[in-house]
Chain A
Amino acid sequence: MASASTSKYNSHSLENESIKRTSRDGVNRDLTEAVPRLPGETLITDKEVIYICPFNGPIKGRVYITNYRLYLRSLETLSSHWRFEVDTCLFQDSSLILDVPLGVISRIEKMGGATSRGENSYGLDITCKDMRNLRFALKQEGHSRRDMFEILTRYAFPLAHSLPLFAFLNEEKFNVDGWTVYNPVEEYRRQGLPNHHWRITFINKCYELCDTYPALLVVPYRASDDDLRRVATFRSRNRIPVLSWIHPENKTVIVRCSQPLVGMSGKRNKDDEKYLDVIRETNKQISKLTIYDARPSVNAVANKATGGGYESDDAYHNAELFFLDIHNIHVMRESLKKVKDIVYPNVEESHWLSSLESTHWLEHIKLVLTGAIQVADKVSSGKSSVLVHCSDGWDRTAQLTSLAMLMLDSFYRSIEGFEILVQKEWISFGHKFASRIGHGDKNHTDADRSPIFLQFIDCVWQMSKQFPTAFEFNEQFLIIILDHLYSCRFGTFLFNCESARERQKVTERTVSLWSLINSNKEKFKNPFYTKEINRVLYPVASMRHLELWVNYYIRWNPRIKQQQPNPVEQRYMELLALRDEYIKRLEELQLANSAKLSDPPTSPSSPSQMMPHVQTHF
């Protein structure tokens, strides 16, 4: 466990729970002691390098590479110009520590050639997926750079070298098993399913109906398995409309799917039309089914050229279609790149706002939130069932359904509820984590990569910012999820879909991220959390309230470092502790009094003199 003294500095960085603290003597340290290691982690090599810190300048250090991480310890003690207790760097015994899981590396480049002059111009430049770059300068003589490059490449991109991802080597043990957090049958039962309109089907038990869907699906009671098979032929990648969430009172539902295969000729499919009508009829309150197509309408039209499309009015009489204008994965990827440009390594100062605007990142966040609000509002007050899709129904669709569910259902705002939401809407319904993140893959320019899940977590953060008492989890919870989205230490975010995970026996061979989090829950709790059942949360999707998530995107910059924990939270925790102390005291007094019965009080001094009095101002 990280001790109290170090946790002050690594509050933003990756977890080090199972890391033993390094010995204090400092001299003659055995290599195996110098690097913290997880069970199953092995040291591959170490090299003397100069770490070129973008905030404080170059510093000499020794870098250790294991099959899981890159670990740097500075050799010089820090001179006075090292003014920052940088988050990236844990300071131990006044040396600088850099601890980076190899999974976050997206690209390794050599800088400078054999003829390079200039100080520190020869070395490696490492681009990370978590909004930072690492630069190391190496000696030109020997083959230290070549060695380091090859070893890093090998272990950062194991899939290109027929090596396993670290999650399969990790032998960590936790006292709770995160893989049991999500049980689809239990989750649907919580929602009151099956009921007389909706049934659970095992038609996809062996993933033969749809290889990217989970084994267990909830479909209308009146649709037979044969109906489902016929509908599957008309939906992109056979991702048929299935239930995600049902409103506990008005019984309207959120249904998710992929686009219909309308194509240029405007094909129709009676089974699909009938199926949507059956979904509509499960809700007697309104005569229309609402379809939200997450894409901008031009893109939906353009998709016809490749066989896709959208539900036309003539084919689907009883449906109303709205486009939500959310852009595709490529636009999001470029937008995040621009965010990195303005925050790393230096934060744009005088033109901060216009630079931020030019990234469009918050504009995309706004559109995703706006879409989710519409879905939630339709279900909650519009009393209409809703069908959500984009092209394939695994990116924008997952964002919209999961955010709408977060707004509608307070259960998902608890720590375990949120884990279930992620496990259900993202992991089981086939968000392509492997392709979107590119785990262990060296092709950093792959057009399949896109920060869709990050964008979702950002939306959740925006909501938690607007409703600071509505979520059981805190910012650290969201950050640790994102850190392990890339780290490959856990099996949670590996692979594209449930069938692939099953083939790889992920639940048997890897550890779940929820094991780490749930065995250490206190750390991720929001002290202000007030549980409120049945309260619908509508965030305000206006630029006036949306903010760049500084504690995530700019966390490497020590100048922007926010106080952790935030002072208001700190104050509240103090009060909580004081309250508990008083309650205990009061109980003691009560006991003492009942024991003494009618004896007069003996204590001459007032307790207020012994205890600190509360200051009423803040």
Chain B
Amino acid sequence: MLGKGVVGGGGGTKAPKPSFVSYVRPEEIHTNEKEVTEKEVTLHLLPGEQLLCEASTVLKYVQEDSCQHGVYGRLVCTDFKIAFLGDDESALDNDETQFKNKVIGENDITLHCVDQIYGVFDEKKKTLFGQLKKYPEKLIIHCKDLRVFQFCLRYTKEEEVKRIVSGIIHHTQAPKLLKRLFLFSYATAAQNNTVTDPKNHTVMFDTLKDWCWELERTKGNMKYKAVSVNEGYKVCERLPAYFVVPTPLPEENVQRFQGHGIPIWCWSCHNGSALLKMSALPKEQDDGILQIQKSFLDGIYKTIHRPPYEIVKTEDLSSNFLSLQEIQTAYSKFKQLFLIDNSTEFWDTDIKWFSLLESSSWLDIIRRCLKKAIEITECMEAQNMNVLLLEENASDLCCLISSLVQLMMDPHCRTRIGFQSLIQKEWVMGGHCFLDRCNHLRQNDKEEVPVFLLFLDCVWQLVHQHPPAFEFTETYLTVLSDSLYIPIFSTFFFNSPHQKDTNMSSPKRGFFREETDHLIKNLLGKRISKLINSSDELQDNFREFYDSWHSKSTDYHGLLLPHIEGPEIKVWAQRYLRWIPEAQILGGGQVATLSKLLEMMEEVQSLQEKIDERHHSQQAPQAEAPCLLRNSARLSSLFPFALLQRHSSKPVLPTSGWKALGDEDDLAKREDEFVDLGDV
């Protein structure tokens, strides 16, 4: 199967970083059982976590079998999460404890995971923000991982209601300073607690060595070099300390426009063609400066346009492609389809489901991203061209497209370690503004664009279409998407490596200065594009490449292309439908086959061990290894997220009626057989 690439170099030697795998492995279950047996429900606090406010006799709505009931308990808000502690925490059955989130419990919502808060006043639902004059009788919390919580406050003391509601609103909605991120208190308190995972060889790309290793791995070291010109962020705070440029490029060029206008290497293909990215030069009015910029760029292009470099095709991702605005609008429509308050809402939207999905455009945006990545792959693979991705800051769509291209072309990126290294290289070191894009600090809603989530959704399409080509499964991607909102992993909580280094290594260095000046609005788009194919020709090449690849049988260790036809782009059901009880298939779903596969794998392994033993001793074989997922057929499609599991086996039945057939009304009225039965 997939080779576990020998990842040496800098990765393993560094200080351990918290990983985003937060689900308990089966062998760890025993430690959790002790906690479950404790009758008293206590608030579980992480190191450095502090309780801020709480309210008792809160009623949490639980949906089961299309009717709601309530569970009494305490609602608390800490500097890390909102948590509900049920008074009657019935013992969880085995299925549920098999896999359990170590950090976030069933009724925990990290502050960063809160999307919208609604209050219900006299049956009316209103968005809650700022100072409240009146306090709601019901609180509805929509989460970024698409859970929906409903708490009834009618039986709670008035002052407690005030305290908890305003506390929650303040801690989740009000703008926050970077230094207030829980990350810092956790890092200080938990410093000695971090566990080393010796297997974690994710390349972090924060040393020159890491980059050299990557150059060597992709055989890019003939034409490209790793540079340390930005060590200590002397030249530019947007770029990482170390990166790779074409070998003949003079290092002082990097300083010229603070790293703008510099072709930065992403990856090299086996045929020598490379994927490069460049952030555009600031647009200037002044003719003199324009002239300087032009000659600067001419110089750059001269370097990369002559042999040994391949012909360069420039892909301007800022024009003629997606805008961040489009992504934002699409996702906010799309997510609404899954933030479902009750059963009625679920069935009411069910009839119009496909048109609602389409009108969100989210799936179409995924298709466009995959298509763009295929086009670029075609240029590199079939036409042996270098592709230069161009974007204002080279930190949004550049990250997305370049990672997708590498995922399709480089099987190493489809291993778990390779994939994590890819994210580290293209997203974290590539300076994707996670803090702004996830709006972790609630400072500017307009900057909130789920670019990384879009990337994960594109990856999911590939994993879903070609599961054997990946070392990881969709569950890995879902867990990864959740970790975007868990502020104990530093990975997704900074705008740039510079910001992380200055804040993480020396926490006392004063307030973080918001960098707005890097958001330069204009760019030099057209002038730079040296090679623009006519769209027809491009279309043709694309078609031929795409069709011919799909006509062959798939080599999972080689080039991998997604299908992008209408019916092939699907909803990432595991992420988006996992909290909706109506959408749960009891004893079914993909998990049913996957767990059969795991069982079989275990059986084969234990047989293998037995054979080994036989060879070494005459002893009778060991007792059967305990079966991990013995009841696999009884798991639900929501596994391992099935915390809202329906406990009975009652079917869910649509409650909404039939939609008018429109022009088919005539037919609908006709009888199957037009025979007059007359009077018998």
Interface on A for B, CB 8 Å cutoff? 83-85, 233-234, 236, 261, 263, 296, 298-299, 302-303, 306-308, 325, 327-331, 334-335, 347-354, 356-357, 360, 362-363, 366-367, 370, 373-374, 376-377, 381, 390-392, 395, 447-448, 466-470, 528, 530, 532, 535-545, 547-548, 550, 554, 558-561, 563, 567-572, 575-576, 578-579, 582-583, 585-586, 589-590, 593, 598, 601, 603, 606-608, 611, 613-618
Question: Which A residue sits closest to B363, measured CB to CB?
Answer: A353
Question: Which B residue sits closest to A464, measured CB to CB?
Answer: B588
Contact present for A586 and B610 (CB under 8 Å): yes
Residues of B within 8 Å of A538, CB to CB, are 586, 649-652
Known A-B contacts A84-B551, A392-B673, A543-B350; A582 and B608 likewise in contact (beta carbons under 8 Å): yes
Contact present for B615 and A349 (CB under 8 Å): no
Min CB distance, B343 to chain A, in Å?
11
Contact present for B649 and A234 (CB under 8 Å): no
Residues of B within 8 Å of A607, CB to CB, are 611-612, 614-615
Min CB distance, A195 to chain B, in Å?
27
Q: Tell me whether B547 is interfacial, beta carbon within 8 Å.
A: yes
Q: In the docked arrangement, what's the CA distance between A401 and B554, Å?
A: 42
Contact present for B585 and A571 (CB under 8 Å): no
Q: In the docked arrangement, what's the CA distance between A150 and B456, Å?
A: 58
Q: In the docked arrangement, what's the CA distance between A530 and B599, Å?
A: 12
Question: Which A residue sits closest to B680, measured CB to CB?
Answer: A261
Min CB distance, A491 to chain B, in Å?
24
- Which 5 A-B pairs have CB atoms at the shortest separation, nearest pair first? A352-B566, A307-B677, A538-B651, A543-B353, A582-B607
- Ordered by A's residue number, 18 sampled pairs between the chains whose C-beta atoms are within 8 Å are A261-B680, A296-B668, A306-B678, A307-B678, A329-B672, A353-B566, A357-B352, A376-B651, A467-B585, A536-B649, A537-B587, A538-B649, A540-B652, A563-B554, A569-B593, A607-B612, A607-B614, A611-B611
Contact present for A567 and B604 (CB under 8 Å): no
Question: Max chain A CB contacts within 10 Å: which of B589, B594, B658, B677?
Answer: B677
Q: In the docked arrangement, what's the CA distance between A537 and B651, Å?
A: 9
Residues of A within 8 Å of B658, CB to CB, are 296, 325, 367
Q: Which of A390, A395, A545 is close to B583, meaning CB atoms less than 8 Å apart?
A: A545
Question: Which B residue sits closest to A452, measured CB to CB?
Answer: B672
Q: In the docked arrangement, what's the CA distance between A569 and B355, Å?
A: 32
Known A-B contacts A571-B597, A618-B467; A347 and B605 likewise in contact (beta carbons under 8 Å): no
Question: Which B residue sits closest to A55, measured CB to CB?
Answer: B547
Residues of A within 8 Å of B615, CB to CB, are 589, 601, 603, 606-607
Contact present for B669 and A299 (CB under 8 Å): yes
Q: In the docked arrangement, what's the CA distance between A407 and B548, Å?
A: 42
Q: Which of B600, B664, B679 is close to A334, meaning CB atoms less than 8 Å apart?
A: B664
Q: In the docked arrangement, what's the CA distance between A306 and B590, Å?
A: 48
Q: In the docked arrangement, what's the CA distance between A354 and B667, Å?
A: 22
Known A-B contacts A302-B669, A363-B351, A470-B588; A84 and B547 likewise in contact (beta carbons under 8 Å): yes
Residues of A within 8 Å of B671, CB to CB, are 299, 302-303, 306, 328, 391
Contact present for B597 and A370 (CB under 8 Å): no
Q: Which of B359, B590, B604, B607 is close to A468, meaning CB atoms less than 8 Å apart?
A: B590
Q: Tell me whether B601 is interfacial, beta carbon within 8 Å.
A: yes
Question: Max chain A CB contacts within 10 Å: which of B357, B364, B673?
Answer: B673
Residues of B within 8 Å of A469, CB to CB, are 592-593, 596, 633
Residues of B within 8 Å of A366, CB to CB, are 350, 654
Question: Which B residue sits closest to A238, measured CB to CB?
Answer: B680
Contact present for A298 and B669 (CB under 8 Å): yes
Contact present for A572 and B618 (CB under 8 Å): no
Question: Which A residue sits closest to B2, measured CB to CB?
Answer: A617
Q: In the docked arrangement, what's the CA distance between A541 and B359, Å?
A: 22
Contact present for B679 and A263 (CB under 8 Å): yes
Contact present for A325 and B657 (CB under 8 Å): yes
B465-491: CB near A (< 8 Å → 1, else 0) gives 011100111000000000000000000
Residues of B within 8 Å of A539, CB to CB, are 585, 588
Contact present for B676 and A307 (CB under 8 Å): yes
B532-566: CB near A (< 8 Å → 1, else 0) gives 00000000000010011011011000000001011
Residues of B within 8 Å of A381, CB to CB, are 649-650
Residues of B within 8 Å of A618, CB to CB, are 1, 467-468, 471, 473, 597, 601
Q: Tell me whether B567 is interfacial, beta carbon within 8 Å.
A: yes
Contact present for A528 and B1 (CB under 8 Å): no
Residues of A within 8 Å of B669, CB to CB, are 298-299, 302
Residues of A within 8 Å of B651, CB to CB, are 373, 376-377, 538
Q: Tell me whether B206 is interfacial, beta carbon within 8 Å.
A: no
Q: Tell me whether B519 is interfacial, beta carbon within 8 Å.
A: no
Q: Which of B588, B592, B604, B674 is close to A575, meaning CB atoms less than 8 Å apart?
A: B604
Residues of A within 8 Å of B298, CB to CB, are none
Contact present for B567 and A550 (CB under 8 Å): yes
Q: In the docked arrangement, what's the CA distance between A335 and B588, Å?
A: 29
A-B contact count (CB 8 A): 279
Q: In the docked arrangement, what's the CA distance between A371 and B471, Å?
A: 41
Q: In the docked arrangement, what's the CA distance between A198 and B2, Å?
A: 61
Known A-B contacts A560-B563, A578-B604; A542 and B350 likewise in contact (beta carbons under 8 Å): yes
Q: In the docked arrangement, what's the CA distance between A548 and B358, Å?
A: 16
Contact present for A395 and B597 (CB under 8 Å): no
Q: In the docked arrangement, what's the CA distance between A602 and B311, Å?
A: 63
Q: In the docked arrangement, what's the CA distance between A561 and B354, Å?
A: 22
Q: Tell me whether B526 is interfacial, beta carbon within 8 Å.
A: no
Q: In the docked arrangement, what's the CA distance between A187 and B551, Å?
A: 46
Q: Which of A347, A351, A543, A590 is close to B351, meaning CB atoms less than 8 Å apart?
A: A543
Q: In the docked arrangement, what's the CA distance between A589 and B617, Å?
A: 11
Q: Tell me whether B577 is interfacial, beta carbon within 8 Å.
A: yes
Q: In the docked arrangement, what's the CA distance between A134 and B232, Å?
A: 69
Contacts A542-B353, A606-B616 given; 5 further ones with Cβ under 8 A? A83-B547, A325-B657, A353-B363, A536-B649, A544-B571
Contact present for B467 and A575 (CB under 8 Å): no
Q: In the docked arrangement, what's the CA distance between A370 and B582, Å?
A: 13
Q: Which of A83, A298, A334 is close to B551, meaning CB atoms less than 8 Å apart?
A: A83
Contact present for B605 and A617 (CB under 8 Å): no
Known A-B contacts A234-B680, A611-B608; A373 and B597 likewise in contact (beta carbons under 8 Å): no
Min CB distance, A445 to chain B, in Å?
14
Q: Tell me whether B15 is interfacial, beta carbon within 8 Å.
A: no
Known A-B contacts A347-B567, A543-B354; A306 and B544 likewise in contact (beta carbons under 8 Å): no
Contact present for A548 and B567 (CB under 8 Å): yes
Q: Which of A234, A353, A535, A571 is close to B354, meaning CB atoms less than 8 Å apart?
A: A353
Question: Which B residue sits closest to A465, measured CB to CB?
Answer: B588
Q: In the docked arrangement, what's the CA distance between A360 and B354, Å?
A: 11
Residues of A within 8 Å of B589, CB to CB, are 466, 468
Q: In the docked arrangement, what's the CA distance between A391 and B672, Å?
A: 8
Q: Tell me whether B661 is interfacial, beta carbon within 8 Å.
A: yes
Q: In the docked arrangement, what's the CA distance between A154 and B34, Å?
A: 79
B122-163: which have CB < 8 Å to A? Answer: none
Q: In the docked arrangement, what's the CA distance between A583 and B611, Å?
A: 9
Known A-B contacts A363-B351, A543-B351, A543-B354; A468 and B567 likewise in contact (beta carbons under 8 Å): no
Residues of A within 8 Å of B592, CB to CB, are 467-469, 528
Q: Which of B568, B618, B680 is close to A598, meaning CB atoms less than 8 Å apart?
A: B618
Known A-B contacts A83-B551, A353-B363; A374 and B653 likewise in contact (beta carbons under 8 Å): yes
Contact present for B664 and A614 (CB under 8 Å): no
Question: Which A residue sits closest to B547, measured CB to CB?
Answer: A83
Question: Which B residue sits closest to A543, measured CB to CB?
Answer: B353
Question: Which B residue sits closest to A396, measured CB to CB?
Answer: B672
Contact present for A328 and B667 (CB under 8 Å): yes
Contact present for A395 and B611 (CB under 8 Å): no
Contact present for A608 and B612 (CB under 8 Å): yes
Min CB distance, A388 to chain B, in Å?
15
Min CB distance, A33 to chain B, in Å?
29
Min CB distance, A17 to chain B, in Å?
24
Q: In the docked arrangement, what's the CA distance between A296 and B472, Å?
A: 48
Q: Tell me whether B675 is interfacial, beta carbon within 8 Å.
A: yes
Q: In the docked arrangement, what's the CA distance between A539 and B636, Å?
A: 12
Q: Tell me whether B670 is interfacial, beta carbon within 8 Å.
A: yes
Q: In the docked arrangement, what's the CA distance between A535 and B586, Å?
A: 11
Residues of B within 8 Å of A327, CB to CB, are 661, 668
Q: In the docked arrangement, what's the CA distance between A303 and B678, Å?
A: 11
